[in-house]
């Protein structure tokens, strides 16, 4: 079912209201500290109205537009990952009891989240994370719960960044699966409307409430054309390329390529790429004890393969003791061995790692360099 709402900002505002009334905490893009980040919002006014972004290697800038666009930007440093897998959470608590201990769980359950404005690449990343933490023999119960309850309003990209390469990875720019609702902003001199596609029954239910609050129409052939035009426009704008099959084959076959030394000279091992990446899943688990020693919390937090102690052999030290080996691990895992482990690429082409790398390292360029240096 495809509907068009007019005006778009009212539609988004009513949608956020309908979701909040159902108990969702609504998470959407918002401007904060000169970036567009995800945060809890209570209405359309909190969205980056009239803002766009400009991204390149080691570059992220916001620009003001001269209109009231709602979604005229690409992705920022945060992704829904931080709501589905909290950066820090207590798994359980051990309380000293007698000569031993008891295990309790006194954490508060997180609220259900509704993501408004999530992009196709982010939905693809969530599917990749599903395969790691939900679909194996040991599903993470809190992820399963958060995932079931999460509501997704996808947005079809109209303004990809220069760092985007979702077309290469087959993950966008069109939202095709994983959404409860998907929207395309139709904005030109004559109109500012929201084209909406229903993805699930619960999506239809929420939309019905919006329909009862404002005017709408069934999408016409012209509306469909306009929506399609937004997507083809994005496809044409995307210039960065990565061939996932080439990357997969060429990296694993060239583990001693001199390019690894080259990138090691530039990489700061700062872990930014792993922090912004929506598919990275490494975590560390640690004990945090109370001062009196009677209570020990088992805490799980995000971790990064760029840390020195990430891979060790018990009692002898760090395996990847230099930046070269750690960068190689990250890239070969993301683009090569992820295929062996999960049957797909670990990369969704969102480009965040390129924008947020302070050294401006571009993995598409690294792959191209290694691929070019091997064909004889």
Partner 1 sequence: MPADGGAVATSAGRRLRTPVGPMVPTRYRVVSRQRETVDTVTIGLEPIDAPIGEPEPGQFTMLYAFGVGEAPISVSGCPRVEGALQHTIRGVGATTRALCRLEPGSVVGVRGPFGAGWGVPGAEGSDVLVLGGGIGLAPLRPVIREVLEDRQRFDRVAVLIGARSPADLLFATEIEAWRSRSDAHVAVTVDAAPRGWEGHVGLVTTLIDRLPITPTRATVFLCGPEVMIRVVARDLVGAGVDADRIFVSLERNMHCAIRQCGHCQLGPLFICADGPVVTWATAAPLLAVRRW
Partner 2 sequence: MRPIPIRELLAEQPVLRELEPADIDLMAGCGHNEVFQAGTYLAREGATADRFFVVRHGKVAIELHAPTGPLLIETIGAGDLVGWSWLFPPYRWTYDVEAIDRTRVVVIESACLRAKCDADPVFGYRLMKRFAQVVVDRLEATRFRLLDLYGNVDAR
By CB under 8 A, name the binding residues for partner 1: 91-92, 94, 96, 99-106, 132-133, 136-142, 255-256, 281-287, 289, 293, 296, 298, 300, 303, 305, 309-315, 319-322, 324-325, 329, 332-333, 336-337, 340-341
The helix-helix angle for 363-372 and 258-266 (nearest 10°) equals: 160
Shortest Cβ 328–partner 2 spacing (Å): 15
- Among positions 316, 343, 375, 376, the unique one binding partner 2 when judged by CB under 8 A: 316
CA-to-CA distance for 26 and 38, rounded, in angstroms? 10
Shortest Cβ 312–partner 2 spacing (Å): 8
Contacts of 276 (CB under 8 A, 6+ apart): 77, 78, 79, 352, 353, 355, 356
CA-to-CA distance for 154 and 182, rounded, in angstroms? 4
What, of partner 1, partner 2, none, does residue 218 touch, CB below 5 to 8 Å by kind? Answer: none
Identity of the residue, 190 or 316, whose beta carbon is nearer to partner 2 in the bound complex: 316
326: left (phi > 0), else alpha (psi -120 to 50), else beta?
alpha
Identity of the residue, 95 or 319, whose beta carbon is nearer to partner 2 in the bound complex: 319
CA 374 to chain centre: 32
Identity of the residue, 107 or 211, whose beta carbon is nearer to partner 1 in the bound complex: 107
Identity of the residue, 104 or 372, whose beta carbon is nearer to partner 1 in the bound complex: 104
- Of the candidates 30, 68, 72, the one whose C-alpha atom is nearest the C-alpha of residue 192 is 68
Identity of the residue, 102 or 236, whose beta carbon is nearer to partner 1 in the bound complex: 102
CA-to-CA distance for 114 and 142, rounded, in angstroms? 16
Task: Tell the residue number behind the tokens 């109370």, with chain if given.
Answer: 290
Q: Which stretch binds partner 2 (CB under 8 A): 26-34, 110-118, 313-321, 329-337?
A: 313-321
Shortest Cβ 257–partner 2 spacing (Å): 15
Using the rule CB under 8 A, is 319 a contact of partner 2? yes
Identity of the residue, 245 or 313, whose beta carbon is nearer to partner 1 in the bound complex: 313
Identity of the residue, 209 or 297, whose beta carbon is nearer to partner 1 in the bound complex: 297
Contacts of 10 (CB under 8 A, 6+ apart): 44, 214
Task: Tell the residue number behind the tokens 């009891």, with chain if given.
Answer: 97
Tokens of 25: 């905490």
Q: How many C-beta atoms surround the C-beta of residue 317 within 10 A?
A: 10
Give SS3 for 117. Answer: strand
Using the rule CB under 8 A, is 318 a contact of partner 2? yes
Shortest Cβ 260–partner 1 spacing (Å): 10
CA-to-CA distance for 73 and 54, rounded, in angstroms? 8
Longest dimension (CA), the chain: 75
Shortest Cβ 317–partner 2 spacing (Å): 4
What, of partner 2, partner 1, none, does residue 317 touch, CB below 5 to 8 Å by kind? Answer: partner 2
Give SS3 for 298. Answer: strand
Using the rule CB under 8 A, is 190 a contact of partner 2? no
Contacts of 72 (CB under 8 A, 6+ apart): 51, 52, 65, 158, 159, 185, 187
# chain residues binding partner 2, by CB under 8 A? 7
Shortest Cβ 258–partner 1 spacing (Å): 15
Q: Which stretch binds partner 2 (CB under 8 A): 231-239, 289-297, 318-326, 339-347?
A: 318-326
- Among positions 321, 358, 360, 373, the unique one binding partner 2 when judged by CB under 8 A: 321
Shortest Cβ 254–partner 2 spacing (Å): 16
Q: Which residues bind partner 2 (CB under 8 A)?
A: 312-313, 316-319, 321
């Amino acid at each position: 079912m495809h509907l068009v709402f007019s005006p778009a900002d009212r539609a988004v505002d009513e949608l956020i209201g309908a979701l909040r009334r159902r108990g969702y905490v609504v998470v959407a893009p918002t401007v904060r500290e000169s970036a567009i980040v995800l945060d809890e919002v209570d209405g359309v006014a909190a969205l980056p109205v009239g803002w766009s972004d400009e991204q390149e290697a080691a570059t992220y800038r916001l620009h003001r537009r001269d209109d009231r666009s709602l979604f005229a930007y690409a992705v920022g440093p945060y992704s829904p990952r931080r709501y589905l897998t909290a950066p820090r959470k207590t798994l359980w608590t051990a309380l000293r009891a007698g000569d031993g201990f008891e295990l309790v769980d006194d954490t508060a359950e997180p609220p259900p989240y509704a993501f408004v404005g999530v992009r196709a690449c982010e939905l693809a990343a969530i599917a990749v994370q599903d395969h790691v933490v939900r679909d194996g023999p040991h599903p993470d119960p809190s992820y399963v719960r958060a995932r079931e309850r999460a509501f997704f309003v996808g947005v079809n990209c109209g303004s990809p960044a220069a760092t985007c390469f979702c077309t290469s990875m087959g993950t966008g720019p069109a939202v095709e699966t994983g959404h409860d609702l998907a929207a395309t902003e139709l904005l030109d001199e004559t109109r500012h409307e929201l084209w909406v596609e229903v993805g699930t029954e619960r999506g239809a239910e929420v939309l019905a409430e919006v329909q009862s609050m404002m005017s709408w129409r069934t999408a016409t052939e012209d509306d469909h054309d306009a929506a399609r035009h937004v997507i083809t426009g994005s496809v044409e704008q995307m210039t960065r390329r990565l061939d996932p099959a080439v990357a997969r084959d060429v990296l694993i076959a060239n583990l001693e390529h001199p390019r690894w030394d080259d990138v090691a000279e530039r990489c700061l091992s700062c872990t930014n790429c792993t922090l912004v990446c929506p598919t990275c899943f490494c975590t560390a688990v640690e004990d945090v004890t109370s001062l009196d020693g009677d209570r020990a919390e088992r805490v799980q937090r995000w971790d990064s393969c760029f840390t020195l102690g990430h891979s060790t052999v018990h009692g002898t030290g760090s395996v990847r003791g230099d930046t070269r080996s750690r960068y190689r691990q990250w890239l070969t895992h993301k683009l090569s061995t992820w295929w062996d482990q999960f049957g797909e690429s670990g990369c969704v082409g969102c480009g965040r790692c390129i924008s947020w790398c302070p050294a401006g390292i571009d993995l598409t360029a690294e792959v191209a360099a290694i691929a070019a240096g091997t064909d004889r």
